[in-house]
Each structure stands twice: as structure tokens, then as C-alpha cells.
């Protein structure tokens, strides 16, 4: 599974390192984290990580391989 | 406040006593959690509000509704200001609140409820000891929840429980249990959940019924006016339109605004700074935190980053991480400025969870590779301070197993570890130990892990590896730890010889170990003795085993030796049962289970032997339903422990025999454990079951044969053999078999009654009716005291006519044969006319009776009717009296006969 998580705001490089397994790109006031997600557990783990860092998720979707 | 308006609880009996002047910051709390840690007091303290806290009346007013609805959920993102809102509200109530801040260490229902009980105590609610803490196989049982709900519902004041960081609760059953208690505690309980995610309670139902107060993220968001007021508190003056832009940018997020204020405070022109921030696009917390951080002095920055690896810290611990000595003023300063650090009281602090996460990211960025070192230092500090469990967590996080294991072994904590290993989290922690750790201490740790989950082969392999490296000059504490594990391994292997060798070595080593170390670990000698006695019991050396077990069972009570005491009492109960003393066995078994409940021991730690013996006694009394229930409650896992496995096999087989399932009993009688030496009683009982099965299927010769093969001298087997001989028509052989028993002094009523019954049958077969009647009277008199019904049911139909005629009829009536005896009436219960109901049942009594018929327990009935357990008992008593019965089963039957149900 590949996912794309769109986060409100430009994330700093430091914070992006909390998601070492994902790539990120900053564009127009949003940060997109994208990359492979192993399974549901991983997905919920990512969500929890966002929540614990106070990040606001704008959009999240599965993208074709 | 609206306290006066809420409806007071209805019930009259008060079980929960409020101590209104007791504050949460009372004296040290003596209780320990199920894992034996002293409770971290900071979990139960209402968090302090910083000076810059802004009280928002609209939220406080809304929260006052919490006093009127059973459930309140304060739901919002990290840093939305949930905790402080509720803490401020709770502090303003002017009465104690049971507060519990959950964290990652409070996992699973057992830990959760233990902590909740502790929060109630800390909140001035007296939780009576009788609530107990019945825990089965890591689960919280229904009776406990029912009792707790009943006690809360009987409270004379409203109990307010706040669970902060409820999102940490993962186990879905906790939500169910909480819902159950909330429902049954009625109006006396007000539950406030503070959480980032919606709890798994049926919220829609509460919403539909209007019984829930809900404060969500949108409501927690600051309005521009509130933002102005908040910034005022930080010494910043902003116009409302300027604040509106700021609120738009942060979406009114409390943490964002707070960081804004801190960052702006430090900048040369706060107004301009805030304007610039508004125009930016960075993620709010991330950006602002970096801003605030970089304005701190390098020392302060360093300290903040380093303590981000800790859940909680005090100045001294922070110093240990920074290699400096200035943490105290720095922390006090940070707290005063409301920057990152929260005061937990008692000199302890924590970072705001949100900031902590971000700071950790910064730590990794700035000092890559420092994290393990920080964990190591924390572990060392925690070890010096005697915080063993926390030391373990950080030692594991540091990956420094050599240090962690050595610390544990040198501190002689191996026994403590064995009792704690039952909790999965610790085992999981140890599972992270890589193969590169090869010191004797790490091998001992691995051995303890394997042995505690009864993996004998792997446990022994690690243990031998450790022993090879530890020669006679090795540290005494390590060698003593080896000896303890050896005794445990010998117990699992059923080898009294090896157990004795290891125990003798341990006795020598105890002299070499510093006395103060031994004094701190009373569990070590207690476990040694218990495991040794268990192997002696296995080998049938009851007297030696009993002496050791009695010593352990009588040792002074403390949490550390609770498991050893529970196990010893369970073993003593088994000896009593095997000797034929059901009442004594019952007393010891009850003492064992209550010991487990008193110290909230998770069930897998003990062997559950107490419950097995209670089940066995229930079978002897022909209370088969109860026996089955008890058997179902013991953990079903295949155990390597020979005594427990054999005990379970005996009970299961006896129960199946009593139910007439001879084949199944035969299959269940084999404990299927491999042991170094054979156990005479285990073999004897297996043979007895086989013999009884043969008898039941009409093969008396085979029945006698199986008992001939087992080692002689066991009274119970002799009685079984006599029965078989008699059934085969060999009366003289039967009497001869019984003659050997009389000399045995320790033989108890369960065996004696059976022996007397065989003699009576022999006399009856010989036509000597007078002797048969005399012997029967003897058996009845002896059995009545112990309520031993099963031997008479086993004895067969020939008893019937004897029991139906005077004077034996009177001896049997009431406990063996049903119904109160009425002179001159025929005994057959079916023929007995139902007595007229002299007194009419009251409405409440009828309600209780109806629930009784639905198989509800006293506690369940109490919870269902919103009355106390004692009230239900009173109703039951009068129901029994009016129906002329003395058991609930009879009450239901009688009520059905009379058409009352």
C-alpha cells in the first residue's frame, strides 16, 4: 500500500525526520508525506504520530503503486 | 456550583465513606499496583495550573453540567487545553476528586482497575477491602465490577472520577467494563474522560438520552477575545482584530497560542513578530517550538532536549542526564515562565506531551546517537534510587542489557523478577534482548524468562550457560540467583533430588550475601522453600512439604512474598485434600485465593492451585456446578508444573466421573506431565479414577487390577481396591484391604467415610443388617459435618432403603436427602407435598427471587436492583425462611413448585 498524507502547514526538516520511512515535499502551505505503508497497524501508528506532534491532517488517501 | 441540585443517591446502606477533608496530597499511599511498584503518586494528583492559566467561564459553566450527567467527555487535539480546563474545574469544586492520569505503563484491565481503585482512595473515597481485586488470568472479573458499582451506588455523596489521557487506554474491554460500572453505579458516579480520541463507549446512547456532557475541540478553541486575555497574562497587548488573525492562523489552538506568546515575549517587537507569524505557512507547533527553544540559553536547550527521553523527572535525574548541577533553578524557571515544563508536585516535573514529542525530534536531529546514552544514564540513576521497574524500561531502551541484567542480579532482584515476569510487558521488554549480550547476568535473565513461562529446556540451557561462566569465585548474589532458578527448574522437572541440592547450595550462599540485601528481598527465601516443598509434595513426602509450606504461609505479610504465600497455601490445601480433609483444604484454599486478591496478584503468577482444590472439595460435596465454575476459572494453559497439572487432572476426572462420564474421566485422569520421579498420589488417583470407570462399566476384576499395580500404602487406593473386591464378590478380600487403613493417623473424613461405607456394604451383603446400619450411621455422622455427599452417591443404590428408614433418615435429612424431615412422612422428595406458604412474599423479595431463578449472583442482583449486597442478603434470608429452605437452588425449586415464578 502506498499512502499520501497531506498536512496543514510547512513542516520543518527536523519534524519530517519523525517519519523516516516516508518522503515529504512542502508545497503551498502544506506538507505531503508519502510512501509505502506496511499495513493497518502502520497506518494507525502514523496517524497517532501526527496527533502526538500536533499536526493537522488535511487529507489522506491511498495512491496506486 | 451545582452540587446541591443533583439528586442524591437513593439507597440507604452506605458502603463508600467519604472523607471530605482528606486531600489527594495525603500521606504516602501504602498500596502497590499489581506489578508490585509503589504507585507513582503523580498519577493521582490533580495537575497544578500555571500562573498564566486563563480561566474561561463559558467552559467552566459547561463543565459544571458534568455534575448532572453520568458521563462527561472532554475531547480535543493534543495541546487543546483539556487537562488544565478539567484540573481547574476540579480544583474549584471544593471537594476531593478521584483523578487518574493514565500513561503507557497502565496497560490492560488489571492495571487499569488497580489504578482506578487507587485513584478513588487518593480521592478520599474509602474502597472497602471487601471489594477485593478478583483477577483471573489477567482479566477483571464480573463480580469485582459489580461490587465496585454497588459500593459506589451506595455512597452518600457523588463520587467524581476524572480519567486524564484516556486515549492511552487501548484495550476495548476496559471501555466495556467502565460502561458497566458507570451504568450500575447509578447517580452516585460522575465520570469525566479527558481524551484525544473518542472513547469506545456507546456515546450515541448517552447523547440520545441526554446523559452526557460533551466538550469538543471546537468549543475548546480560543475566541479572539480569549486570546487577547491569554496574551495579557503573558504581558502582551493585542487588539481584538490582531488577535482574530492569530486565532485564524492557530485555529484557536491553546498550545499554539501559548507558544506564540512565549516566542513573541522573547522577540524585540512582539506585535511585529506575531504579524509575521500570522503570514507564515509553517506547521504551528513545530515552528513555534523551534522558535521558543532557540531563545533559551544553550544550557536550558540542552536540558530540555535531554529530558525529553523521560516520562517524568526531578532535578537530580535531569542533572544525571546533563552532567551538570543546575537543573533545579532551570526547571523552576521554566515552570514559572510556563515554558514546556509542568509541575507534578513532590519535586517532579514532566514535559507537556506534545512538546516532548517535538523536543525528541529535535534531540535526534541535534545529537544523533545520544538517546541510548541518555536512557543508560537514566537507568543508572533509577537504579541508585531503587526504582527497579523504571530502570528496566530505560535499560532496555538503551539496549544496555549487560548493565541492566547485572543491576538486577546484583540487587538480588531475581525473585522479584520471577513474580513480575508474569506480566507480559516485562517479558516483551526482555524479548528485545539481542544475542550479543552474553554475560552470566543476561543468561540468568533469559533463564528466568523461560522458566517463568515453563519452558524448561530453554530455561535450563540458559541457566547452565550462566553457571559455567560463574565459578565459585563469582558474586554470591549471582550464584544465589542461579540456585533459586535451579530449584524452580527442579520443581518443573518434578525432581526432588535436584531441588534439594540446589536448595542446600542456596542456604550456603545466603550466608555469603550481604545481610541488608537479603533483608530487602524476603521473597527469595520464601520462593526457595515453596518450590522445594512443591517437589517434595510431588514425590509424596507430605510431612516435609507441609513443614516448609507452613513456614512460608505464616511468614509476615507483604506484597513481595504474596505469591509465595499464595502458592504455599494452595499446596497445603492440596495436601489436606489428598489426606481427605475437605474443610481444612477449603480453608487453606480460600486463604490462598484471598491472599492473591489482597495483593491483586495477576492470576497467571500463582499456580491457581487454591481454586483447583476448591473445585475438588465441591465435587466431594456433590456441588458439581460450582466445581465446574471453579475449574473454568483457573487458567486453562497447559502447565509444566507437575503438581498443578496432576491436581487439575484429578479434579477434572473426578468431576467427569460424578457426571457419569467414565470414558472421558479416564482420558482426563492422566496429567500428561513428564517428571523425573513418579508421584505416588498422582498415580494413585489416576488408578482410582480408572478403577471407578471400570466399576461403572461393570468390570470389577479390572477395577481391582488397576489398583493392585500402584504403590501400596495409600488409604484412598485401599478403599478403592476394597470397593472393587466387594463388587467382584470377594467380601473377605475387601475387608482385608480396609484393615490396613485404620492405623493411619492422618487419614481424614473423606477417606474414612468411604471406607466405612464399603464396610457397611460388606456387612449388608453378608446379611448383617444391624452392623450395616450402625456403620452407615457412623458414616452419616462423620460426613454431615463436612457435607460429604459424593461418597454416598458413589456407594450405589443399596443405600436407598437404609436412608429411607429411621433412624438413618434423620441423619441424612437436610443435607444428603432433600427437604426438612417431617415425622411419619415418606422420604421420597417427589412424594413430599409442598408445604403451604405461610407468609406472603413481599414485592422486593419476589424481585430478588425472580433474579435468583435467572442464575444471577447476589452481587448481580444488588447491582440490578440498585441496592446494596447486604440488602439483597436480607431479602434472601426472609425468602428462604418463608419458603422453608436454606439454599438458593432449593428456593428456586420450591418457588416453581408453588407457582411463584
Residue ranges per structural domain of chain A: 2-63
- C-alpha B862/C-alpha B872 separation (Å) is 6
Q: Facing residues of B101 across strands?
A: B164
Decide if A62 touches B, using CB distance below 8 A: no
Nearest CA to CA, how far is B190 from chain A (Å)? Answer: 28
pLDDT in tens, B471-511: 777 788 899 999 999 999 999 999 999 999 999 999 999 89
Least confident range of B266-275, B552-561, B600-609, B890-899: B600-609
**pLDDT value, residue B141:** 67
Contacts of A17 in chain B (CB under 8 A): 361, 364-365
Dihedral, CA of residue B132, residue B133, residue B134 and residue B135, to nearest 10: -170
The answer to whether the Cβ–Cβ distance between B283 and A51 falls below 8 Å is no
How many of the other CB atoms lie within 10 Å of CB of B225? 13
Contacts of A13 in chain B (CB under 8 A): 365
Question: What is residue B26's DSSP assignment?
Answer: -
**pLDDT value, residue B318:** 94
**pLDDT value, residue B870:** 83
Q: How far is CA B554 from CA B49, B568, B573, B809, in A?
A: 49, 9, 14, 43
Decide if A56 touches B, using CB distance below 8 A: yes
**Average confidence score pLDDT of chain B:** 82
B447: left (phi over 0), alpha (psi -120 to 50) or beta: alpha
* pLDDT value at B85 more than 80: yes
- C-alpha B135/C-alpha B422 separation (Å) is 13
How many of the other CB atoms lie within 10 Å of CB of B795? 18
The answer to whether the Cβ–Cβ distance between B284 and A9 falls below 8 Å is yes
The answer to whether the Cβ–Cβ distance between B364 and A53 falls below 8 Å is no
What are the φ/ψ torsions at residue B455 (nearest 5 degrees)?
-95, 90
The answer to whether the Cβ–Cβ distance between A15 and B77 falls below 8 Å is no
Task: Say which residue the cell 504551528 belongs to.
Answer: B284
Exposed, middle or buried, B433 (CB in 10 Å: 0-12/13-18/19+)?
middle
Q: Write down the architecture of domain B3-220 according to CATH.
A: 3-Layer(aba) Sandwich (3.40)
* pLDDT value at B854 more than 90: no
pLDDT in tens, B350-373: 888 888 888 999 999 899 889 999
Class of domain A2-63: alpha beta
Task: Say which residue the cell 493585542 belongs to.
Answer: B238
pLDDT in tens, B786-830: 889 999 888 878 888 888 887 788 888 778 876 554 444 444 443
Least confident range of B428-432, B576-580, B591-595: B428-432
* pLDDT value at A51 more than 70: yes
Picking from B283, B289, B293, B358 by the largest number of A CB atoms within 10 A of its own CB, the best residue to mutate is B283
- C-alpha B395/C-alpha B426 separation (Å) is 12
Q: Which three cell numbers stand for residue B662?
A: 467414565
Nearest CA to CA, how far is A2 from chain B (Å)? Answer: 24
More confident residue, B503 or B895: B503
DSSP B214-235: EE-HHHHSPPHHHHHHHHHHTT
Question: What is the largest distance, in Å, between two alpha-carbon atoms of chain A?
Answer: 30
* pLDDT value at B428 more than 80: no
* Three-state secondary structure call for residue B815: coil
* pLDDT value at B663 more than 60: yes
Q: Which residues of B486-523 are buried (b: 16+ CB within 10 A; e: fewer)?
A: bbbbbbbbbbbebbbebbebbeebbeebeeebbebbbb
Nearest-by-CA chain B residue for A53: B354
Nearest to B79 among A7, A8, A54 (CB): A54
**pLDDT value, residue B335:** 83
Nearest CA to CA, how far is B280 from chain A (Å)? Answer: 8
Exposed, middle or buried, B870 (CB in 10 Å: 0-12/13-18/19+)?
middle
HEC readout, B406-438: HHHHHCCCHHHHHHHCCCHHHHHHHHCCCCCCC
* pLDDT value at B120 more than 80: yes
The answer to whether the Cβ–Cβ distance between A17 and B251 falls below 8 Å is no
Provide the pLDDT confidence category of residue B35 given band limits of 50, 70 and 90: very low
- Do the first three CATH levels of B3-220 and B843-897 match, i.e. the same topology? no
What CATH number was assigned to the domain covering residues B843-897? 1.10.10.10
Percent of chain B with pLDDT strictly greater than 90: 27
* pLDDT value at B782 more than 60: yes
Q: Do B103 and B168 touch, CB atoms closer than 8 A?
A: yes
* Three-state secondary structure call for residue B175: helix
* Three-state secondary structure call for residue A58: strand
**pLDDT value, residue B134:** 46
**pLDDT value, residue B502:** 94
- Which residues make Cβ contacts (< 8 Å) with residue B425, sequence separation at least 6? B105, B107
Contacts of A29 in chain B (CB under 8 A): 281
Element (H, E) at B89: helix B82-92
* pLDDT value at B760 more than 80: yes
Percent of chain B with pLDDT strictly greater than 70: 88
Question: Where are chain B's structural domains?
Answer: 3-220, 224-294, 748-833, 843-897
Nearest CA to CA, how far is B353 from chain A (Å)? Answer: 7
**pLDDT value, residue B47:** 86
Please name which of B576, B569, B503 lies closest in space to residue B542, comparing C-alpha atoms: B576
* pLDDT value at B28 more than 60: no
Cis-peptide, bond into residue B612, ω within 30° of zero: no
- C-alpha B64/C-alpha B577 separation (Å) is 58
Picking from B196, B281, B286, B290 by the largest number of A CB atoms within 10 A of its own CB, the best residue to mutate is B286
**pLDDT value, residue A4:** 95
Contacts of A48 in chain B (CB under 8 A): none
Q: What is the mean pLDDT of residues B282-293?
A: 83
The answer to whether the Cβ–Cβ distance between A9 and B283 falls below 8 Å is yes
Please name which of B216, B205, B156, B215 lies closest in space to residue B182, comparing C-alpha atoms: B205
Nearest to A52 among B78, B282, B287 (CB): B78
Q: Which three cell numbers stand for residue B445?
A: 535473565
Q: Which three cell numbers stand for residue B646?
A: 496432576
The answer to whether the Cβ–Cβ distance between B283 and A52 falls below 8 Å is no
- C-alpha B118/C-alpha B112 separation (Å) is 10
* pLDDT value at B835 more than 50: no
If you count them, how many residues does chain A have? 65
**pLDDT value, residue B826:** 42
The answer to whether the Cβ–Cβ distance between A12 and B285 falls below 8 Å is no
The ipTM is 0.86
The answer to whether the Cβ–Cβ distance between B361 and A18 falls below 8 Å is yes
pLDDT in tens, A8-17: 999 988 889 8
* pLDDT value at B89 more than 80: yes
- C-alpha B131/C-alpha B149 separation (Å) is 10
Q: Do B295 and B266 touch, CB atoms closer than 8 A?
A: yes
What are the φ/ψ torsions at residue B135 (nearest 5 degrees)?
-125, 125
The answer to whether the Cβ–Cβ distance between A51 and B196 falls below 8 Å is yes
Provide the pLDDT confidence category of residue B606 given band limits of 50, 70 and 90: low
More confident residue, B17 or B510: B510
* pLDDT value at B11 more than 50: no
More confident residue, B171 or B683: B683
The answer to whether the Cβ–Cβ distance between B283 and A15 falls below 8 Å is yes
**pLDDT value, residue B662:** 86
Q: Which three cell numbers stand for residue B512?
A: 555469603
Least confident range of B93-102, B298-307, B405-414, B595-604: B595-604
If you count them, how many residues does chain B have? 901
**pLDDT value, residue B20:** 32
Please name which of B53, B78, B43, B75 lies closest in space to residue B352, comparing C-alpha atoms: B78
Amino acid at each position: 500500500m502506498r499512502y499520501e498524507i497531506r498536512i496543514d502547514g510547512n513542516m520543518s526538516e527536523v519534524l519530517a525526520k519523525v517519519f523516516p520511512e516516508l518522503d515529504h515535499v512542502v508545497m503551498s502551505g502544506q506538507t505531503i508525506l508519502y510512501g509505502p505503508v506496511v499495513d493497518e497497524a502502520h497506518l494507525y501508528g502514523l496517524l497517532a504520530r501526527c496527533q502526538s506532534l500536533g499536526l493537522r491532517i488535511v487529507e489522506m488517501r491511498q495512491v496506486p503503486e | 456550583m451545582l452540587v446541591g441540585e443533583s439528586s442524591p443517591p437513593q439507597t440507604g446502606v452506605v458502603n463508600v465513606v467519604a472523607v471530605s477533608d482528606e486531600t489527594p496530597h495525603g500521606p504516602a499511599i501504602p498500596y502497590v499496583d499489581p506489578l508490585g511498584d509503589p504507585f507513582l503518586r503523580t498519577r493521582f494528583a490533580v495537575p497544578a495550573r500555571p500562573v498564566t492559566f486563563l480561566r474561561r467561564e463559558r467552559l467552566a459553566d459547561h463543565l459544571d453540567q458534568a455534575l448532572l450527567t453520568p458521563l462527561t467527555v472532554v475531547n480535543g487535539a493534543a495541546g487543546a487545553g483539556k487537562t488544565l480546563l478539567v484540573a481547574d474545574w476540579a480544583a474549584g469544586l471544593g471537594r476531593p476528586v478521584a483523578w487518574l492520569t493514565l500513561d503507557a505503563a497502565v496497560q490492560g484491565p488489571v492495571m487499569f482497575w488497580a489504578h482506578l481503585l487507587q485513584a478513588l482512595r487518593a480521592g478520599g473515597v474509602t474502597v472497602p477491602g471487601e471489594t477485593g481485586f478478583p483477577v483471573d488470568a489477567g482479566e477483571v472479573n464480573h463480580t469485582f465490577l459489580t461490587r465496585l458499582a454497588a459500593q459506589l451506588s451506595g455512597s452518600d455523596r457523588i463520587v467524581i472520577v476524572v480519567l486524564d489521557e484516556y486515549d492511552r487506554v487501548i484495550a476495548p474491554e476496559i471501555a466495556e467494563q467502565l460502561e458497566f460500572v458507570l451504568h450500575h453505579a447509578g447517580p452516585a458516579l460522575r465520570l469525566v474522560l479527558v481524551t484525544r480520541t473518542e472513547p469506545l463507549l456507546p456515546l450515541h446512547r448517552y447523547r440520545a438520552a441526554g446523559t452526557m456532557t460533551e466538550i469538543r475541540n471546537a468549543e475548546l478553541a480560543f475566541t479572539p477575545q480569549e486570546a487577547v486575555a491569554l496574551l495579557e497574562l503573558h504581558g502582551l497587548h493585542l487588539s481584538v482584530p490582531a488577535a482574530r488573525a492569530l486565532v485564524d492562523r492557530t485555529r484557536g489552538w491553546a498550545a499554539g497560542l501559548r507558544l506564540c506568546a512565549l516566542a513573541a515575549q522573547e522577540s524585540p517587537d512582539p506585535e511585529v513578530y506575531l504579524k509575521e507569524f500570522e503570514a507564515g505557512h509553517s506547521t504551528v507547533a513545530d515552528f513555534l517550538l523551534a522558535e521558543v527553544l532557540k531563545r533559551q540559553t544553550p544550557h536550558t536547550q540542552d536540558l530540555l532536549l535531554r529530558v525529553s527521553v523521560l516520562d517524568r523527572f526531578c532535578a537530580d535525574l535531569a542533572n544525571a542526564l546533563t552532567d551538570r548541577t543546575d537543573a533545579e533553578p532551570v526547571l523552576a524557571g521554566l515552570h514559572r515562565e510556563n515554558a514546556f515544563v509542568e509541575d507534578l508536585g513532590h519535586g517532579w516535573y514532566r514535559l507537556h506531551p506534545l512538546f516532548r514529542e517535538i523536543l525528541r525530534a529535535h534531540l535526534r536531529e541535534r545529537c544523533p546517537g545520544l538517546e541510548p546514552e541518555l536512557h543508560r544514564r537514566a537507568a543508572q540513576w533509577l537504579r541508585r534510587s531503587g526504582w527497579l521497574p523504571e530502570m528496566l524500561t530505560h535499560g532496555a531502551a538503551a539496549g544496555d542489557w549487560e548493565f541492566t541484567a547485572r543491576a538486577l542480579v546484583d540487587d538480588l532482584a531475581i525473585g522479584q523478577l520471577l513474580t513480575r515476569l508474569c506480566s507480559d510487558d516485562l517479558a516483551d521488554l526482555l524479548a528485545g534482548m539481542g544475542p550479543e549480550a552474553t554475560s552470566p547476568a543476561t543468561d540468568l535473565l533469559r533463564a528466568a524468562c523461560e522458566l517463568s513461562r515453563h519452558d524448561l529446556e530453554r530455561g535450563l540451557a540458559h541457566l547452565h550457560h550462566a553457571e559455567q561462566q560463574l565459578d565459585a569465585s563469582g558474586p554470591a548474589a549471582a550464584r544465589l540467583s542461579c540456585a533459586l532458578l535451579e530449584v524452580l527448574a527442579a520443581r518443573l522437572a518434578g525432581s526432588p533430588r535436584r531441588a534439594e541440592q540446589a536448595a542446600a547450595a542456596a542456604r550456603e550462599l545466603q550466608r555469603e550475601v550481604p545481610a541488608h540485601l537479603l533483608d530487602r528481598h524476603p521473597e527469595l527465601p520464601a520462593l526457595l522453600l515453596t518450590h522445594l516443598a512443591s517437589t517434595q509434595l510431588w514425590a509424596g513426602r507430605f510431612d516435609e512439604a507441609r513443614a516448609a509450606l507452613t513456614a512460608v504461609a505464616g511468614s509476615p505479610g507483604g506484597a513481595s512474598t504474596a505469591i509465595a504465600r499464595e502458592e504455599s497455601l494452595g499446596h497445603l490445601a492440596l495436601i489436606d485434600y489428598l489426606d481427605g480433609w475437605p474443610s481444612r483444604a477449603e480453608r487453606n484454599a480460600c486463604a490462598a485465593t484471598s491472599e492473591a486478591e489482597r495483593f491483586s496478584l495477576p492470576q497467571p503468577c500463582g499456580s491457581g492451585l487454591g481454586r483447583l482444590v476448591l473445585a475438588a472439595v465441591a465435587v466431594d460435596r456433590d456441588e458439581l456446578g460450582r466445581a465446574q465454575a471453579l475449574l473454568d476459572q483457573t487458567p486453562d494453559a497447559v502447565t509444566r508444573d507437575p503438581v498443578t497439572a496432576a491436581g487439575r487432572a484429578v479434579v477434572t476426572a473426578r468431576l467427569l466421573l460424578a457426571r457419569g462420564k467414565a470414558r472421558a474421566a479416564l482420558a482426563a485422569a492422566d496429567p500428561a506431565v513428564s517428571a523425573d520421579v513418579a508421584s505416588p498420589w498422582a498415580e494413585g488417583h489416576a488408578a482410582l479414577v480408572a478403577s471407578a470407570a471400570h466399576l461403572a462399566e461393570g468390570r470389577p476384576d479390572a477395577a481391582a487390577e488397576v489398583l493392585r499395580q500402584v504403590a501400596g500404602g495409600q488409604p484412598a487406593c485401599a478403599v478403592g481396591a476394597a470397593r472393587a473386591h466387594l463388587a467382584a464378590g470377594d467380601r473377605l478380600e475387601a475387608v482385608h484391604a480396609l484393615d490396613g487403613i485404620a492405623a493411619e493417623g492422618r487419614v481424614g473424613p473423606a477417606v474414612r467415610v468411604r471406607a466405612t461405607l464399603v464396610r457397611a456394604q460388606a456387612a449388608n451383603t453378608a446379611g448383617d443388617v444391624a452392623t450395616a446400619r450402625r456403620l452407615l450411621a457412623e458414616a452419616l455422622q462423620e460426613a454431615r459435618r463436612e457435607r460429604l455427599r459424593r461418597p454416598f452417591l458413589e456407594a450405589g443404590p443399596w443405600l436407598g432403603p437404609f436412608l429411607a428408614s429411621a433412624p438413618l433418615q434423620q441423619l441424612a435429612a437436610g443435607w444428603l436427602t432433600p427437604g426438612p424431615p417431617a415425622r411419619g412422612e415418606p422420604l421420597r422428595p417427589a412424594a413430599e407435598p409442598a408445604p403451604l406458604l405461610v407468609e406472603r412474599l413481599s414485592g422486593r423479595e419476589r424481585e430478588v427471587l425472580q433474579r435468583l431463578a435467572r442464575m444471577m449472583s447476589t452481587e448481580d442482583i444488588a447491582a440490578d436492583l440498585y441496592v446494596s449486597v447486604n440488602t439483597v442478603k436480607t431479602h434472601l434470608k426472609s425468602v428462604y425462611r418463608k419458603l422453608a429452605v436454606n439454599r438458593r437452588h432449593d428456593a428456586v425449586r420450591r418457588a416453581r413448585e408453588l407457582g411463584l415464578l
